Chain A
Amino acid sequence: MISILPPKAPPRTVEFEIDGIPVRAPEGSTILDACRANAKQVPTLCFLDTLHPVNVCRVCVVEVEGSRVLVPSCSRKVEPGMKVRTDSERVRHSRKMVLEFLDSSVDLSTTPDVADWKAAYGCDSERYGPPAPLAPAGTRDHAHAGHHDAPDPDYRATVAQPVKVDNSLYVRAYEKCILCYKCVEACGTDFQNSFAIGVAGRGFAARISTEFAVALPESACVYCGNCIAVCPTGALMAKPEWDKRADGTWDESRQTQTDTICPYCGVGCTLTLHVQDNEILKATSPFDQTVTRGNLCIKGRFGWQYVQNRRQAEPTA
């Protein structure tokens, strides 16, 4: 009935090279893990170590000697004797193209670090022409797989569409979506298992969508906001942050981040409170936290307003 589990053997160490320097890493770790352990900068967009790697953004690619193609460092495991190059001409050229294509079609203005990467790899997305006019609401939502209009040579194609504001807690600005799948994974089997969103369409018409593109309140969404937490570009944003950014009062230089514990149940989720001018504007949870792995529920992520409602109730006299 009761068996004793065999103790796991500690992982063996793998010896290999990064950029000509001999390094060691535990067996089973990825090239990205090893790069970060050895202070090698590798850009990532779709990678998050709490989610299964899906290898879609291709910005973390590196060159492995003997490999026909560049490999995604976020999921390729280290192997003995491997010779990895993180900054070769081929790598730099690939990253430049990936970033240019993304930047030419997606609004990356709220994606951290992208401006630095663009400069480092010499990106010029303007060379693809001026952006196409904004698609009317619903056009991209209902694009059919396999149906393509001829591209307009005067413009560069974009994924731009009007911002979706259909509830009091989230805003979805898909003009900023790079289709990294993180939100789909967080909503799906990696954490929340609500399956409210998925990838619809194919090719350039691919987009993140609820079933039949219904508004969030009609979908399976339970407003945990775990998709917002993993979104790398700001395409998904909590309403208070969106509103503050819109009216120009969002100012991270004036914000503090304080870790405390959510009051709503006994699980003990760490809440990081983002406070500006003695007002909570956002709650997140650290990804390295063993209880939450960065996740919260609707109460933890949005339920703190009552604390500041006491302020508004204060007599002003």
Chain B
Amino acid sequence: MLFLWGSNARETHPIFFHHVLKGIHNGTKVVSVDPRCTPTAQWAHRYLPIRVGTDIALANAMAREIIDARLANEPFIARATAGFDAYRASLDRYTLAYAERETGIDAGLIREAAHLYARADRAMICWTLGITEHHNAVDNVLSLINLALLTGHVGRYGSGLNPLRGQNNVQGGGDMGAIPNRFVGFQDIRDPEVCETFARAWGVPQKNEYGKTMTQMFEAIEHGEMRSLFVIGENPVQSEADQHKTKHVLSSLDHLVVFDIFMTKTAELADVVLPSAAGWCESEGTVVNSERRVQRIRKALEPPGEARDEIAVLCDLARRLGTDWGELSAEQVWDEVRAMAPAMFGGMSYARLEQEQGLRWPCPDESHPGTMYLHERLWHEPRSGLPAPFSVVEHELPLEQADADYPFVLTTGRRLADYNTGVQSGGFTSPLRRSESLDMHPDDVGRLGFADGQSVRISSRRGSVVAPVRTDPTMQRGLVFMTPHFQDDVRVNELTIDATDPKSGTAEFKACAVKLEPLEVVPERELRAHAGSVGD
């Protein structure tokens, strides 16, 4: 069986969902947990209509039910895990009745989902941004990991946990060390031995302290501790949760360099813009997908104008800064990755990646076939390596709740034919595309006296935008939905809250409180914006 938790894979990961559909036709039970009855939920065996941001209440109540019904995998817990007693004790208050109150999901449905999961031969939990775009994102993920440890649904073929990545190289970015606390191959920067290895290989001493997450960088800029910024392939002005604040922070820098394939809203603020080749079709290299498969990207086109290959530009930059790396090919860079993280990538030569449709890490040597699933060691008798820890996590509501002043909860997500801030997907004409709308339950539309298509003002404590109402019976009452796709027309990220998870730096795009007002007189500027909106 398969949990799709906070994931509308039918629209956001359509080809992954083809594999899910094969499973459904073969009898796989799918449970969808989502505040909206999405096209994904419509394919599910059971749909759990969760109130936004109450995932931990649901996961913990399922766990309590699994334990109470004696469905926990006790031999697995005893052999492979740690911290079970503290975890079990922490579940005390998560009764089915409590969970029903908090999540809005019928207690019987929660019980049924818990039993389906625990009794399944093989079960997976896949999640997407519905789990991670919250101020307690890491806790949300830990609550799902707890369920897998409780039932032993991890480390075996057909079982496990999988975050469905939103871009072709989200996984690869972390794998390659483009995160502030790890070198390539998840090697800890604070490990003195690791630091020494990299210092020796690169001939430069390495600080064994963690760098800053993007959120921390923005704070450091605000406090005047960081005065210049090099932004590569990111459009924070339109992708961060609070647009006003982001613009203000970036404008206060002494020096901003943007290296991008587009003249983005962020690039417009830059002192220097370096035009880039499009990584996936104008240069060579690798990306890593959601199944840890390292895949080759290849140059199919010459980049336009002065746009140049990323590696060449970075080598030039290094030369200007006094270090000559020579002319590096993508394969040479990759071979250094293999040399510096041999346990994960050692066996993945370009020749093998070519012949074997990519390889899944770890793949330590040339004779290794790659690894289909992780954590098999948890099934070794006796256990090898450290036990997998349970984590005590508590239910916490999103920072903003609907109240008398802001009576609706706004949540955000993607549509099938569109993508993030629209800079890429806006480039083709899609018969499916319609401009931004405020999706609401028909009862709410009626109660407020709105009509379908009527423009309304949507305001949060941070800003306000105008968008037409769209009646949508898949919505819950009290919840409204918008996308990030049309930021040039409707700046939804002026509404969203810039609360972030202190553990991961992810922003709470999935919940903020808004109020809705009919437009008496439409300001001319906004009318123009509507008239020129994409796609219609």
State the A residues within 8 Å of B (CB): 1-3, 5, 167-169, 189, 191-193, 216-217, 222-224, 256, 258-270, 273, 275, 278-280, 289-293, 295-300, 302-311, 314
Which 8 A-B residue pairings sit nearest by Cβ, starting from the closest?
A: A266-B165, A268-B289, A306-B427, A258-B300, A297-B14, A305-B428, A266-B290, A273-B300
Within 8 A of A (CB), among B155-177: 156-157, 164-168, 170-171
Which of B43, B293, B301, B431 is A268 in contact with, Cβ under 8 Å? Answer: B293
A258 with B167: CB separation less than 8 A:
no
Q: Which candidate, B57-65, B234-242, B280-288, B524-532, is the interface stretch facing chain A?
A: B280-288
Contact A270 B424 (CB under 8 A): no
Instruction: State A18–B485 Cα separation when bound (angstroms).
Output: 58
Bound CA–CA A269/B168 (angstroms): 9
Does B464 belong to the interface (CB within 8 Å)? Answer: no
Q: Report the Cα distance A161→B167, complex, angstroms.
A: 42
- Beyond A266-B13, A310-B304, whether A223 also contacts B168 by CB under 8 A is no
23 examples of A-B residue contacts, CB within 8 angstroms: A2-B152, A168-B431, A189-B21, A193-B18, A260-B296, A261-B287, A261-B295, A261-B297, A262-B280, A266-B166, A267-B289, A268-B293, A279-B301, A291-B293, A295-B15, A297-B15, A298-B416, A298-B417, A303-B424, A304-B428, A309-B427, A310-B261, A310-B305
Q: Tally chain B residues at the interface, Cβ within 8 Å.
A: 63
B 1-56 contacts with A by CB, 8 A: 12-16, 18, 21, 25, 43
A269–B357 Cα distance when bound, in Å, is 11
* Closest chain A residue, CB of each to CB of B280: A263
A311 to chain B, nearest CB (A): 4
A91 to chain B, nearest CB (A): 35
B426 within 8 Å of A (CB atoms):
yes
Further 20 A-B residue pairs, CB within 8 A, beyond A224-B14, A264-B424, A268-B290:
A1-B119, A168-B431, A169-B431, A191-B18, A192-B18, A193-B21, A222-B416, A258-B298, A264-B425, A266-B170, A267-B16, A278-B301, A296-B15, A297-B15, A298-B432, A305-B427, A306-B427, A307-B281, A308-B301, A311-B305
The secondary-structure label for the interface of chain A is loop
Residues of chain A within 8 A (CB-CB) of B287 are: 261, 268
CB-defined contacts of B197 to chain A, threshold 8 Å: none
In Å, the complex CA distance between A295 and B22 comes to 14
Say whether B281 contacts A273, CB under 8 Å.
Answer: yes
Q: Is the CB of A223 within 8 A of B300?
A: no
How many angstroms between the C-alpha atoms of A167 and B282 in the bound complex? Answer: 29
Specify which chain B residues have a CB less than 8 angstroms from the CB of A311 in the assembled complex.
304-305
Is the C-beta of B492 less than 8 angstroms from some C-beta in chain A?
no
Residues of chain B contacted by A193 (CB below 8 angstroms): 18, 21, 43
Which A residues are CB-close (under 8 A) to B295? 261, 268, 270
